[in-house]
Amino acid sequence: MNLEQARREVKKLHKIISQHNYQYYVLDDPEISDTEYDKLLKKLIEIEKDFPILITSNSPTQRVGATPLAEFKEVEHVVPMLSLANAFDKDEMIRFYERIARELNDKNLSFSGETKLDGLAVSIFYKNSILETASTRGDGFTGEDVTQNIRTISQIPLNLIGKSIPDNLEVRGEVFITHRGFVNLNNKQKKQDQKIFANPRNAAAGSLRQLDPKITSERPLSFCAYGIGDYKGSLQLTKHTQILNQLQHWGLPISSESKELKGLEMCLEYYNDITDKRSQLAYDIDGVVFKVNNIDQQKTLGFVSRSPRWAIAYKFLPSEEITQLIDIEVQVGRTGTITPVARLKPVNVAGAKINNATLHNLDEIKRKDIKIGDWVYIRRAGDVIPEVVRVIKEKRTNVKEFKMPNTCPICGSDIKRQEGKTAFICVGGLSCSAQKNQAILHFSSRKAMNIDGLGEKIVIQLTGGRMVNNIADLFSLEQKKLSKLDRMGDKSASKLIQAIKSCRSTTLARFIYALGIPEVGESTARALANHFHTLENIQESTIDKLESISDIGPIVAKNIQSFFSQKNNIKIIEKLLLAGINFNNRQLSNESSLDNLSFVITGSLESITREKSKEILLSLGAKVGSSISKNTNYLICGNNPGSKYEKAIQLNIKILDETSFLKILKKEGVTL
């Protein structure tokens, strides 16, 4: 066989294997046996072995093989992955339907009904029919790049099939593990003396977030598509059910339980039917999702906060059990939030042994009238998180009141209630060991001190090995010791030491933001720097002076003063300054023509990063948003701009290419 013959045979095998994957995973109707399928795959492997030049990233043989990652990269979602509002009973579902019907003036609305899979939401991006990138949902706006791991899931096609395939297609779906897969996985873990997973959801999430894709490939992950995000194609998609059918046509698995529903009664019947079938399904679900079917109606309804107004998750009622609340202790979260936790007599709830349950906050304890020694009903909220539902007061004897402690059980710093909020926090942010990993990660993040290479895995090793106890210790790290950490080596250690050295010259605004003062974000840190000019002035400022700044209210002002009143925090700041941190501040020009103008940046810029562009614009008094609206003044447009470009044209927003943007910066006296 010569090269040209091999090329034709490889192309033919790609097509045949993709079709059989579609028959097996999407249609659940295999046309050949597993043995015959294995023969086809083996034939392809042998040809690629003889002609390595024919191996492509989208070959069925290349699902596994990438080298392990040091850490996951961040991915910004072009279209935010929003969470759904919940309904927990029939009345809430009826109110949702009636509100939608009233706003749309349509009493017989069409909905798409779908099972709510209990897994991990992901975004998979296809360019010209080939799988290019994949990421987790994250916070809805930024997720983690899990492309290598997604490629190992056989149900997810590396190449889309069928007709009218769009140039750009972002598929939204859920990665999960079936009941059978979960049992087999735990049996395997047990035999190998490895960790036993608590439930299929945890197993799926843990498997997808492995840095080594070979480990992920050994886990029984499944996938189900439930929608799209970014889309550029000739095919007009007018209904959500049409989108699902089209995804299946392109080779992606969808739920066999999906159904188009007319009117409220059909929606309620569908919920009851799925409730009855729940125990017979091959996978875990925690409710039913209803989405307005008409895409134009979805656009009319729009969004509120982080949720679409045209969809709702109607959750199943959780099972409840009775046990005794033995004690209430407090836990210190990664950001200093103090959370009361109920210590319980062990009880089995929905198949899981429960020893502890969250009590959320002091107000919740008072609202439910919970006391130490009470007998209580426990349930798993969303079938996952244990919570105390209510007290059985008839059984109350010999109980005592819970009181929030005044000092942190970890570091001894003051515990203070955030004004106007339910939360109590430990104000020893820089010195509290419970917060140190988060404090270090925040301090070194891109928008703060920008210490490249200091990811979560490295930080855990540094703090676990007592090499770093607080952020100031970063500046006394030695390359020799760093190189001995897992997955570091001399080269990586040298780069990290250089990044730490380079970050010493920064701006006052970045430094203030890096300290992690509660509710002091980038804009507030910038306002503080522009107003007070020096760190000493900020430290010595009164609440009245802080409140005189337009961006700062009484709550944030008290947070700032509380932070700088803690001796432990001041000691660490002094160590940072002694380590050589200095501020090279660019003062805000009063004559900037960009003052209060609103910008959005999209696409990739060649001469300057988007993050640097944002920083410069903000220093010139401009505002930088993440989404286009009628209040946007300019869209800065780089390569591969995405949907923001089209929306800017629709709204008649002024569009600047990279050259025009750089000219504006030059006019403002900015040199790159």
Q: Which residues contact 658 (CB under 8 A, 6 or more apart)?
A: 605, 606, 607, 636, 637, 638
Is residue 116 annotated as a catalytic residue, yes or no?
A: yes
Contact indicator for 55, 17 with CB cutoff of 8 Å: no
DSSP letter assigned to residue 480: H
Q: Which of these, 658, 609, 600, 604, lies nearest to 629 by C-alpha position?
A: 600
User: By mean pLDDT, which of 59-68, 377-386, 485-494 is the weakest?
Assistant: 59-68
Other C-beta atoms lying within 10 Å of the C-beta of residue 248? 18
Q: Which of these, 131, 160, 166, lies nearest to 147 by C-alpha position?
A: 131
Helix (H, G, I), strand (E, B) or coil at 424: strand
Partnered with residue 262 across adjacent β-strands are: 110
In this prediction, residue 589 has a pLDDT band, given cuts at 50, 70 and 90, of: very low
Q: Which of 116, 291, 315, 371 is catalytic?
A: 116
Average pLDDT, the chain: 86
Residue 65, pLDDT above cutoff 60: no
Beta strands in 191-335 (DSSP E): 222-232, 259-262, 285-292, 303-304, 307-308, 311-315, 320-332
Q: Which of these, 672, 600, 596, lies nearest to 636 by C-alpha position?
A: 600
Contact indicator for 132, 125 with CB cutoff of 8 Å: yes
Coarse DSSP helix, strand, coil percentages of the chain, rounded to the nearest 5 percent? 40, 25, 40
What are φ and ψ of residue 30, in 5° steps? -65, 140
Q: Encoding tokens for residue 648?
A: 């800017």
In this prediction, residue 586 has a pLDDT band, given cuts at 50, 70 and 90, of: very low
Sign of torsion over alpha carbons 656, 660, 665, 667 = negative
Helix (H, G, I), strand (E, B) or coil at 452: coil
Helix (H, G, I), strand (E, B) or coil at 362: helix
Q: Give the pLDDT score at 24.
A: 63
Q: Which residue has the tokens 């805000």?
A: 588
Q: Is it true that domain 436-583 has CATH number 3.30.70.100?
A: no
Residue 246, CA distances (Å) to 168, 234, 297 in order: 14, 13, 20
Q: Which residues contact 11 (CB under 8 A, 6 or more apart)?
A: none
Fold of the domain built from segment(s) 3-62: Helix Hairpins (1.10.287)
Q: Which of these, 354, 456, 467, 469, lies nearest to 410 by C-alpha position?
A: 469
Other C-beta atoms lying within 10 Å of the C-beta of residue 176? 25
What are φ and ψ of residue 77, in 5° steps? -75, 130
Mean of pLDDT values over 50-63: 77
Query: Both ends of the chain: CA-CA distance in Å?
Result: 56
Can 320-395 and 436-583 be said to share one CATH topology? no
Q: Which residue has the tokens 């990652």?
A: 69
What are φ and ψ of residue 311, in 5° steps? -140, 155
Partnered with residue 479 across adjacent β-strands are: none
| pLDDT (tens digit per residue) in 202-233 | 889 888 988 888 889 899 999 999 999 999 99
Domain residue spans of the chain: 3-62, 85-315, 320-395, 436-583, 598-667
Alpha-carbon distance of 404 to 424, in angstroms, equals: 9
Alpha-carbon distance of 227 to 237, in angstroms, equals: 11
Q: Which residue has the tokens 């894709």?
A: 213
Q: Which residue has the tokens 């194609």?
A: 233
Q: Which residues contact 425 (CB under 8 A, 6 or more apart)?
A: 335, 336, 337, 338, 415, 416, 418, 518
Sign of torsion over alpha carbons 159, 164, 169, 171 = negative
Residue 574, pLDDT above cutoff 60: yes
DSSP letter assigned to residue 64: S
Alpha-carbon distance of 559 to 552, in angstroms, equals: 10
Q: Give the pLDDT score at 350.
A: 65
User: By mean pLDDT, which of 26-40, 341-355, 365-379, 423-437 is the weakest?
Assistant: 26-40
In this prediction, residue 73 has a pLDDT band, given cuts at 50, 70 and 90, of: confident
Q: Which residues contact 166 (CB under 8 A, 6 or more apart)?
A: 126, 231, 232, 233, 234, 235
Helix (H, G, I), strand (E, B) or coil at 173: strand
Superfamily of domain 85-315: DNA ligase/mRNA capping enzyme (3.30.470.30)
Alpha-carbon distance of 402 to 503, in angstroms, equals: 45
CATH number, span 320-395 = 2.40.50.140
CATH number, span 598-667 = 3.40.50.10190
What residue type is 218 in one-letter code?
E
The distance of Cα 587 from the centroid of its chain, to the nearest Å, equals 35
Q: Encoding tokens for residue 434?
A: 């419970």
In this prediction, residue 34 has a pLDDT band, given cuts at 50, 70 and 90, of: low
Better-predicted residue by pLDDT, 264 or 62: 264
Alpha-carbon distance of 232 to 236, in angstroms, equals: 10
Other C-beta atoms lying within 10 Å of the C-beta of residue 218? 15
What residue type is 154 in one-letter code?
S
In this prediction, residue 85 has a pLDDT band, given cuts at 50, 70 and 90, of: confident
Count of all residues that appear for the chain in the document = 672
Alpha-carbon distance of 250 to 618, in angstroms, equals: 43
| pLDDT (tens digit per residue) in 273-284 | 998 888 788 898
In this prediction, residue 587 has a pLDDT band, given cuts at 50, 70 and 90, of: very low
Sign of torsion over alpha carbons 292, 271, 304, 626 = negative
Alpha-carbon distance of 399 to 377, in angstroms, equals: 16
Contact indicator for 171, 159 with CB cutoff of 8 Å: no
DSSP alpha helix (H) spans, 475-633:
479-482, 489-502, 508-514, 522-532, 535-540, 543-547, 554-565, 567-578, 610-619
Alpha-carbon distance of 650 to 82, in angstroms, equals: 23
